[in-house]
Structure 1
Amino acid sequence: MSRTRRTFSKEFKTKVVLEALRERTTIEVLVKKYELLPTQISIWKAEAVKNMSNVFAKDKPEIVKNPISTEKLYAEIGQLKMENDYLKKKLS
């Protein structure tokens, strides 16, 4: 009688961790409410506290720019436009 491994969304984990951090209810209540193990909630909570300083970091991660050059894109647009015009002429 094996149990399948469950995966949780980041929204769900955030909701559980925020409730655990508020400490309005005990871990046992959260365990029953969300049907989780107490160690799982503790691990998520510890991980959130450890990485919380990244939220306020001055150095934001840079957006990786697309390595495709604009020249290639303009060339492709031109080629597609020519093909489109050719097909329009053939249809009429």
Structure 2
Amino acid sequence: MPSTGARMTRRPRRNHSPAFKAKVALAAIKGEKTMVELSQQFDVHANQIKQWKDQLLEGAMNVFDDGRKDDAAPTVDVKNLHAKIGELTLENDFLAGALDKAGLLGGKR
């Protein structure tokens, strides 16, 4: 590759404020302008605008979240539940046998 003497300079990394990102993402959601037009208007790459738009849409449900976790099912430890069921069944059988021997249990269950 021949050297022409000219080098492309990298643009320094920019950090955008959350307010700016929200402004750009909302403009993208409105759909009044194309991504290219928004990219030129805000001097941000179209891929970055798309990412911010997607993040805003994904996080939108959290705006209306009241703190309850109804959607999330509690984790269930089936192994422990089966062990507890077995333990309780043994206790019931033992107590039923003891009551039956004592003559306090009337008839079979």
Counterpart pick for 1:52 among 44, 60, 77:
60
Paired AA for residue 33 in structure 1: Q
> C-alpha displacement at 1:2, in angstroms?
2.7
> C-alpha displacement at 1:18, in angstroms?
0.8
Aligned to 1:41: 49
Deviations 1:9-63 (A, max 9, x none): 0111111011101101111100000111110000000011011100000118xxx
> C-alpha displacement at 1:3, in angstroms?
2.0
Q: Quick check: which one's helix share is greater?
A: 1
Measure the CA separation in 1 of the matches of 2:10 and 2:28: 29
Aligned to 1:18: 26
Unaligned runs of 5+ in 2: 1-8, 69-109
Measure the CA separation in 2 of the matches of 1:42 and 1:2: 22
Name the Cα RMSD after superposition. Answer: 1.3
Measure the CA separation in 2 of the matches of 1:2 and 1:47: 26
Structure 1 counterpart SS, 2:37: helix
Is 2:31 the counterpart of 1:28? no
Paired AA for residue 49 in structure 1: L
Moved over 2 A (4+): none
Q: Highest CA radius of gyration, 1 or 2?
A: 2
Q: Alignment identity in percent?
A: 32
Aligned to 1:8: 16
TM-score by length of 1: 0.62
Unaligned runs of 5+ in 1: 61-92
